[in-house]
Chain A
């Protein structure tokens, strides 16, 4: 296995694979945070999560178009505007969907699953009608492409670093919101004991709406970031949804820390195995391990006790 490589090459392999694992980790964190908030805090299985991500990606695409034609001078910085807009748009749609659909379906997890799956199909077809069935190409400002060469073999992609920093920032912001703000305290109160939270005067309906919308907003930012590394098409969201659920379920639904730990475990396992085995085999082995662990520990890696 290692015999084909020299010592310096081996060092480089581990350095590069470590980095590949880390960038996969940050992608998983970005994908899963929004879902973890919705699924973990509200018990809603949002099958349309991928479509919210792609809405963010399309917003980025449109912003790029606008900047390119109207303000070419500012093109280098369009991405930050695009991410902000992606958040706003998906947050708004999330709030609307919660108000129209989700709030009527609380305590009926299977129905929300079906309803959000239907929503995902509706959104896909809407994208197809508006943007066309073909994928759109989102071009990046020049400074975001390319890489920093550390040695001959080790090169670190700039957009990888960008995604990593973004994931850290968002994870930190979510942590502040959930554990250091009044609103977060309300959310946690509603999760732990809804009737009691309502009894002390928390408007649980409003908390639900903002939580759902926030989860969707984070999905939008993730989708915006993914235009750097992946495709933007009507069905691209489907590419991410399985991995996202895997990360959230494996981590333990109620725990944000669990989500991060599980994203780290799965990404490192996946990228290390990918190097020595084929891509498909690595995926199979990762899934096997996850299934095995979930059989022993159905509540996931980190679980929190809540009153149902």
Chain B
């Protein structure tokens, strides 16, 4: 503005002429839009807020790390989401529209996640995003989703203590994973003493805090609690401590590459998990991680999850078959992969219930949505945007699969802000 005041008047005239040229251009460009108007009128009822929805397509985003350190974990989620989208399309799409996905790479870097989610919401105007894996990436994109009013379907089991109208959490929050498993350990295995061991960041620390409270409540004892930096590769010291303290249960939430080191070193140090002295229960090792650890090193360990690839129900049989047909025979499916698969289906159900792609209407329609075709059996969205789901305990086998040992009879209520556990 300042500049133009000092400009000589000749420049102003030249600018005016460009103005008219721009007008003309604008008018020309509006022509096809006029023709298209009759088309968009149809889309309008289902889309009043300018999302990327046409008569026969709707755009969604997939936002995971396909490069960087988290690619190991997030690959399965991407595969599951693509499979679900393809299946929905094959069955006729959502409100008659085929789903087109735009995939972005979060590159294991939290600011990149935020930037890419802004791109998906602002530039691409996607109707929903399926993505994120770590809590850190979710925390990074949350303000973006709330500011630009997007929908995020988040697949990972996580520490809880969060609830946003813009997020549907398709994995378990901490209490769903922990409470039932500790009850089971106490009742079925007669466990009295626990050793809590995890990687050093928010999820293991919050999970262990809840575990410790619950163990205290049952009148049992925690004999050790320990955290190691992410990527730690030497567990000999803690294994020695475990040998000395002789706990009944090692409650493990070690993540990533550290897992491989931990289980290999446990085995090398002569702790045979199949003997159950001590017994090990993990909340972080799914079938995906066992691929890297090696089934023979983790055989006998228990895991508390909501889904195992080996579940025998018909939904899961069909899901595993389709997954293997799409992504190869030697692939395994872990808890989070299944939760990621639920995302597109839950979104489809919510859109169809609302009769619209509008974010507000999808949000309003979401609580109470149920999915009877879920591989894990049956899930329902709670008012707090988490899922009602069963807690299950499986025992790791030498072939890298879990054998189902126990499941809760009822669906467990999601409780992201558990009273008395904070």
Partners in one complex: yes
Q: Which residues of A contact B (CB under 8 A)?
A: 5, 9, 12-13, 16-17, 19-20, 23-24, 27, 125, 128, 132-139, 145-147, 149, 153, 155, 157-160, 226, 228-236, 238-240, 270-271, 274-275, 278-280, 282-283
Q: Which residues of A have CB within 8 Å of B294? A: 137-139
Instruction: State whether the Cβ of B164 lies closer than 8 Å to any Cβ in chain A.
Output: no
Output the nearest chain A residue to B256 by Cβ-Cβ distance: A231
**Which of B267, B270, B292 interacts with A136 by CB under 8 Å?**
B292
Whether the Cβ atoms of A16 and B228 lie closer than 8 Å is no
Q: How far is the CB of B105 from chain A (nearest CB, A)?
A: 12
Interface string of B151-187 (1 = CB under 8 A from A): 0000000000000000000000000000000000000
B233 and A240 contact, CB distance less than 8 A: yes
CB distance from A170 to the nearest CB of B (A): 19
State in angstroms the CA–CA spacing of A148 and B84 once bound together: 50
The residues of B with any CB-CB pair to A shorter than 8 Å are 66-69, 71-72, 75, 200, 226-229, 231-234, 236-238, 240-241, 243-244, 257-261, 264-265, 267-270, 288, 290-296
Q: Determine which of A20, A128, A134, A153 lies in contact with B237 in the assembled complex, contact meaning CB atoms within 8 Å.
A: A20
A197 → chain B, closest Cβ, in Å? 39
Kindly list chain B residues whose C-beta atoms are within 8 Å of the C-beta of A145: 267-268
The reply to whether A280 and B228 form a contact with Cβ atoms under 8 Å apart is: yes
Residues of A within 8 A of B265 (CB): 157, 229
Is there an interface contact between A20 and B236, defined as CB atoms closer than 8 Å? yes
Distance in angstroms from B273 CB to nearest chain A CB is 13
* Cβ–Cβ < 8 Å partners of A280 in chain B: 200, 227-229
Question: Are the CB atoms of A135 and B72 closer together than 8 Å?
Answer: yes
The docked-state distance in angstroms from the alpha carbon of A235 to that of B229 is: 16
Top-9 shortest CB links A-B: A135-B292, A231-B260, A20-B236, A279-B228, A157-B268, A274-B237, A231-B257, A133-B71, A137-B294
Across the interface, which residues of B come within 8 angstroms of A271, CB to CB?
A: 234, 236-237
In the assembled complex, the Cα of A153 lies from the Cα of B182 at a distance in Å of 28
- For A12, the chain B residues whose CB sits under 8 A away are 244
Residues of A within 8 A of B257 (CB): 135, 230-231, 233, 235-236, 239
- Report whether A128 and B291 are in contact in the complex, using a CB–CB cutoff of 8 Å: no
**Chain A residues within 8 Å of B261, by CB:** 229-231
Further contacts, 17 of them, CB under 8 A, given A132-B75, A235-B69, A271-B237 = A17-B237, A19-B236, A135-B291, A136-B291, A137-B295, A138-B294, A145-B268, A147-B269, A147-B270, A229-B233, A230-B233, A230-B257, A231-B260, A233-B292, A234-B71, A236-B257, A279-B226
Residues of A within 8 A of B75 (CB): 132-134
A280 to B226 Cα, complex, angstroms: 9
Complexed CA–CA distance, A279 and B232 (Å): 9
